[in-house]
Amino acid sequence: MIDQKYHYLLNHADIAFEAPTSGAYIEVKDAANGTSLAWVKQHDRASVEHFILRSEQAQAAFKKFTALQRADILMAWYRLMLDHQEDLAQILTAEQGKPLAEARGEIGSAASFIRWFAEQARRIDGDILPSPQAQQRLLVIKQPIGVTAAITPWNFPAAMITRKIAPAIAAGCSMLIKPAEQTPLSAYALQVLAIQAGLPSDVMITLSGDSVAVGKTLCESDIVRKLTFTGSTEVGRILAEQCAPTIKKLSLELGGNAPVIVFDDANIEQAVKGILASKFRNSGQTCVCANRVYIQEGIYDAVAQRVIEEVNKLKVGDGRIEGTTQGPLVDEAAVAKVESHIQDALAKGATLATGGKRLSESNTFFEPTVLTGVTQEMRVAREETFGPLAPLFSFKTEQDAVQMANDTEFGLAAYLFTQNASRQWRVGEALEYGMVGVNTGMISIEVAPFGGIKQSGLGREGSKYGIDDYLEMKYLCVDLSE
Ligand code: NAP
């Protein structure tokens, strides 16, 4: 059971700390040891429809708040999150499994989106356009879209929510949130703090439940004017289809297959640091995780050796234990996918340099793994592993590297390491990705636009652009003739 000292952050009608004897509930389990943490109410179609109406009512009142009022609420929420950072991180690690240091970092990053959009709330301005007609005045104003809905994944249970709801609130929208089944507690804890910060009730509504039923209800509703989703490309495609009849606005943050290119003029230690940071954060379960590491042949052995040395220093275990750097994988299917990518690569001629297996059949901890001699024919070149597997490919020329890096239907994040300034620009511009890290493996930050191209998604989150997805533009044409 989740420690009683965190119950104050989970003080919500949907949450039970003893196994409920009636009603439909979802059990939330400790990611490291599988014990019960709590139970959350399972909302069905009728219940979701009821909450959509409540969200509509709340938005009708909330849109009348001034930008300053909305900004003040967001700023109060940001401060509360930082005041409770440690407790929020403990809840996050319990349900998600990532090391506490990473969980604290995620809460800080989640809060930073709230602060950023508190600042942006006061900069939603319009335009006055010069008219070709002397008697006309042409104006553009921006208004909130209205009721919005979010469906979020388990890998960042806090940051994926604030990156969506903070711009929604800044714009004057309400939002219904369906968190992932494995990690709903962080969403409820955020809501508890939002209410404390002064957010009117029902402007943020958290709804757990069967994802297919809740998702379909949100997509089919005429009242919900926008859906924002972070998760797999496969589910993104289903949601886009379900939203088509109501022509809902869509933001999709989907899967990736991130390449890292290390040129032979790179600073090797900088590249190794970047590869480790990008590949092994959250045990390889982030959408911007390096999925393919391309190393130019002249420095292949030197980089591979240093990567293996550093990977061997990683420590797998319960995220609450000091020194742990790698938590568990999310479920058995995640373990099976990593295993299948390793088996496929080995069968096609790759070499296992370190790791390669789960720690025990009774849990989902997996050894950080490095494969050398990986080629484009192997599954790992095409599919997102979403686990702690670094496959090392080699390449001869810059042209080859760019061609292999772009040879995928995904286009979220890419990384390159080179000391040559013109190559940084040339390759950075040639990579077909929404985000490119140059000499770094860490690119996510609230001030920059996060998002992908091709089948990695639609729209951008964070940055000055992130609020546009929650606003409608209205053009007013005023004729002054009497
Ligand atoms: P997922 O299976 O697509 O699930 C994401 C969310 O969608 C969860 O809340 C899930 O709910 C829900 N869902 C699943 N099937 C649904 C359906 N038919 N209708 C409505 N909702 C549905 O993805 P995941 O395995 O959790 O996350 C990993 C994927 O997300 C990776 O591909 C990763 O690259 C991507 N990702 C992308 C970004 C980005 O910003 N681009 C960030 C993080 C992750 P339940 O869990 O309750 O079933």
Residue nearest to atom 46 of ligand 1 (CA): 180
Q: Is 274 in the pocket of ligand 1 (CB under 6 A)?
A: no
Q: Is the Cβ atom of 413 under 6 angstroms away from ligand 1?
A: no
466/463 Cα distance (integer angstroms):
5
Is the beta carbon of 258 within 6 A of some atom in ligand 1? no
Return the DSSP state at 200.
Answer: P
415-452 burial, b at 16+ Cβ within 10 Å, e below that, comes to bbbbeeeebbeebeebbebbbbbbbebebbebeeebbb
Ligand 1 neighbourhood includes 76 CB (under 6 angstroms): no
| DSSP class per residue in 245-258 | GGT-EEEEE----E
Q: Is the CB of 235 under 6 A from ligand 1?
A: yes
For domain 4-254+457-474, which CATH number applies: 3.40.605.10, 3.30.70.260, 3.40.190.100, 3.10.150.10? 3.40.605.10
Catalytic residue (choose from 95, 102, 106, 253):
253
**How many A from CA of 130 to the centre of ligand 1?**
46
Beta-carbon contacts of 147 under 8 Å, excluding residues fewer than 6 positions away, are 52, 55, 56, 59, 173, 174, 175, 176, 223, 224, 225
CB of 28 sitting under 6 A from ligand 1: no
Q: How many A from CA of 235 to the centre of ligand 1?
A: 7
pLDDT of residue 1: 87
Q: Quick one: which H or E segment has residue 38?
A: strand 36-41
CB 194 within 8 A of CB 77: yes
Task: Name the strands in the sheet holding 389-395, side by side, starting at the edge strand that comes first in the sequence.
Answer: 351-354, 369-374, 389-395, 290-296, 258-262, 413-417, 435-438
Q: Assign 284 to helix, strand or coil.
A: helix
CATH superfamily for 258-438 is: Aldehyde Dehydrogenase; Chain A, domain 2 (3.40.309.10)
Closest C-alpha residue for ligand 1 atom 12? 211
**How far from each other are the two terminal CA atoms of the chain, in whole angstroms?**
72
Q: Break the chain into its structural domains and give their ranges.
A: 4-254+457-474, 258-438
Position in ligand 1 atom list of the atom nearest CA 178: 9
User: In ligand 1, which atom is closest to the CA atom of 457?
Assistant: 41
Q: For residue range 378-406, what is the model confidence (pLDDT) as tens digits?
A: 999 999 999 999 999 999 999 999 999 99
For residue 196, give the nearest of 92, 105, 74, 65 by alpha carbon.
74
Report which ligand 1 atom has the smallest distance to the Cα of 182.
46
Low-confidence ranges of the chain (pLDDT < 70): none
- Which residue type is seen at 297? E
Residue 224's SS3 state is strand
Q: How far is the CA of 228 from the centre of ligand 1 (A)?
A: 11
Is the minimum distance from the CB of 255 to ligand 1 under 6 angstroms? yes
What is the predicted pLDDT for the residue at 23? 92
Q: What is the pLDDT of residue 139?
A: 98
DSSP string of 105-143, one letter each residue: HHHHHHHHHHHHHHHHGGG---EEEPPSSTTEEEEEEEE
Q: Is residue 253 flagged as an active site residue?
A: yes
| Tokens read off for 29 | 């389990």
Return the pLDDT at 263.
Answer: 98
pLDDT digits (tens, 9 = 90+) for 218-247: 999 999 999 999 999 999 999 999 999 999
